[in-house]
Amino acid sequence: MLEVTCFLIDDDLDDRESFEIGLKKVPIPIKYSSAQNGLEALDFLSSLNDKPQFIFLDLNMPILSGKECLPQIRQLAGYEKVPVIIYSTSSYKADIEDCQRLGATHFFTKAHSIKTLTETLTQLLSGEKLPFVLNSTNQ
């Protein structure tokens, strides 16, 4: 089975760690990498030959916020269609609408249960058709 490549952009160390824990439990082979901020992510993404198949993007980050980063990812050559999943603490309606307008593929509100995280990631990475807002009812 081919590896699914995932890329997370999040400034919060705890969140990067728990994302990785949840991701490791997904029963699919996965290649995972991450960046600590938007600028680092843009540099990294534009230098890659093999583009990640899924990009997870936090909103509340210093220097370059998720909302500022998202359109810039979309402008990189070859990233027009790559699924970008907003991965944020927010379940704020205005944030959800903003991100949809800016070209996000899904809005995934960070879960407090690793099990939920793993389940949603499994559905997502195995290509199931899902609504724009993921996991919004857990808050």
Partner 1 sequence: MKDYNSTPTYQSEYRFQRMIEEVQDYAIILMDIDGTIQNWNKGAQKIKGYQEQEIIGQNFSVFYLPEDQKDRLPCKLINEATLNGRATHEGWRVRKDGTTFWGYIVITALHDEQDNVIGFTKVTRDLTERKLAEEQKDRDAKSIEMQNKRLEEFAYVTSHDLQEPIRKIRAFADLAKAEIDDREKLEWYLGKIDSSAEKMVQLIKDVLAYSKLSHDHSQFIPIDLNAVVLDVLSEFEVLISEKQVVLEVSNLPVILGVRVQIHQLLSNLISNAIKFNHGVPHLSLTSISIVESRDDSEQESGYQITLTDNGIGFDQKYAERAFEPFKRLSSEFNGTGIGLALCKRIVENHKGSIQVQSELGKGSTFSVFFPEIISE
Q: Does 72 bind partner 1 (CB under 8 A)?
A: no
Write the CB contacts of 134 (distance below 8 Å, at least 6 apart in sequence).
85, 106, 107, 108, 109, 120, 124
Give 102: exposed, middle or buried? Use CB within 10 Å, 0-12, 13-18, 19+.
middle
**Are 37 and 11 a contacting pair, CB within 8 Å?**
yes
Q: Which is nearer to partner 1, 79 or 117 (CB)?
A: 117
The nearest distance, CB 115 to partner 1, in angstroms, is 7
Q: How far apart are CA 17 and CA 21, in angstroms?
A: 6
Position among 4, 6, 7, 11 found at the interface with partner 1 (CB under 8 A): 11
Within residues 35-54, the interface with partner 1 by CB under 8 A covers 36-37
**Are 25 and 116 a contacting pair, CB within 8 Å?**
no
Q: Which is nearer to partner 1, 71 or 92 (CB)?
A: 92
Q: Does 57 bind partner 1 (CB under 8 A)?
A: no
Q: Does 134 bind partner 1 (CB under 8 A)?
A: no
Amino acid at 27: P
Within residues 79-98, the interface with partner 1 by CB under 8 A covers 88-92, 95
Q: Which residues bind partner 1 (CB under 8 A)?
A: 11-12, 14-15, 18, 21, 36-37, 59-63, 88-92, 95, 110-115, 139
